[in-house]
Amino acid sequence: MKLRKHDIVEVMIGAQAGKRGRILSIDKEKERVVVEGANIRKKHVRRSQRNPQGGILSKEMPIPASNVMLVCPSCQRATRTSIKLKSEGGKQRICKKCGAVVSEISTAAKTK
């Protein structure tokens, strides 16, 4: 999966198509992502010590990762990405449409 937490993505398929938001969490086993402001569902909650007021809560629910595309920060379009190896030993995510660097991928964080 080429998506990461805190990426800005656009929903491409489904009832939420066209909405943009930040990725809040990723479930790699089920290949689903939770996007801020997309796929909001209502949940009725009874009064308890944890929630003394009770009532109806709004909550973002996961959607399939294949239904979202990364938004390039430079061209502001939904795009695919490629991985480019740097000569110093790191990696970069590259926008397929404009060729700009989307983000750096640190290899030190992966080894831990």
67 DSSP assignment: G
Query: In the chain, pLDDT over 70 holds for what percent of residues?
Result: 94
When pLDDT is cut at 50, 70 and 90, the band that residue 86 belongs to is confident
d(CA 16, CA 84): 32
Q: What is the model's pLDDT at position 88?
A: 82
- pTM check: above 0.85: no
How confident is the model over 7-29, as a mean pLDDT? 93
User: Which position has the higher pLDDT, 106 or 94?
Assistant: 94
Q: In 3D, which of 107, 70, 109 has the Cα closest to residue 86?
A: 107
Residues near 74 by beta carbon (within 8 Å), at least 6 away in sequence: 95, 98, 100
Domain coordinates in residue numbering, the chain: 1-71, 80-112
Q: What is the model's pLDDT at position 17?
A: 92
How confident is the model over 96-102, as a mean pLDDT? 86
d(CA 7, CA 72): 10
CATH of domain 1-71: 2.30.30.30
Judged by phi (left if over 0) then psi (alpha if -120 to 50, else beta), residue 86 lies in beta
Q: Which amino acid is at 61?
A: M
Residues near 88 by beta carbon (within 8 Å), at least 6 away in sequence: none
Q: Which amino acid is at 40?
A: I
Per-residue model confidence as pLDDT tens digits over 24-70: 999 999 999 999 999 999 999 999 998 898 899 899 999 999 999 99
